[in-house]
Amino acid sequence: QMHLVESGGGVVQPGGSLILACEASGFSFSSYGMHWVRQAPDKGLEWLAFIHYDGTIKHYADSVKGRFTISRDNSKNTLSLQMNGLRDEDTAVYYCAKVDSSPFIWGQGTMVAVSS
């Protein structure tokens, strides 16, 4: 069974920082590029960031470029998202996912609330 399990969500003040983690199991994590996707309240799915299988290539959505950093540790089967300068509009459920080729895999999500 292929699994992705996110952690690290919580409540943070505007301007604050948070690190999300995603632990992979049941598939060859180090062979695949990985993504972060979010869903704000009453909104659709929004792609945020991608990292190549070996970490050498990264892409970001304009909405998070310069504030969020994606990284991975293949020795620990872990994907991370460092989020700085958080804004109210970053409030969302954050999913790690493999969604650019088969097999497609979604995590269960972790909630981030930005509030003073």
Partner 1 sequence: EIVLTQSPGTLSVSPGERATLSCRASQSVGTNLAWHQHKPGQAPRLLIYRASSRAAGVPDRFSGSGSGTEFTLTISSLQSDDFAVYYCQQYYSWPPLTFGGGTKVQIK
**Site residues (CB under 8 A) for partner 1?**
35, 37, 39, 44-47, 50, 59-61, 95, 97, 99-102, 104, 106-109
Cβ-based nearer residue to partner 1, 62 or 116: 62
Q: Minimum Å distance from CB 43 to partner 1?
A: 9
Cβ-based nearer residue to partner 1, 73 or 100: 100
The span from the CA of 40 to the CA of 73, in Å, is: 27
Q: Minimum Å distance from CB 70 to partner 1?
A: 12
Q: Minimum Å distance from CB 47 to partner 1?
A: 4
The span from the CA of 33 to the CA of 86, in Å, is: 25
Cis peptide bond N-terminal to 103, omega within 30: yes
How many CA atoms, within 13 angstroms, populate the side-chain half-sphere of residue 50? 14
Residue given tokens 């459920």 in the structure block: 93
The span from the CA of 86 to the CA of 106, in Å, is: 24
Cβ-based nearer residue to partner 1, 19 or 45: 45
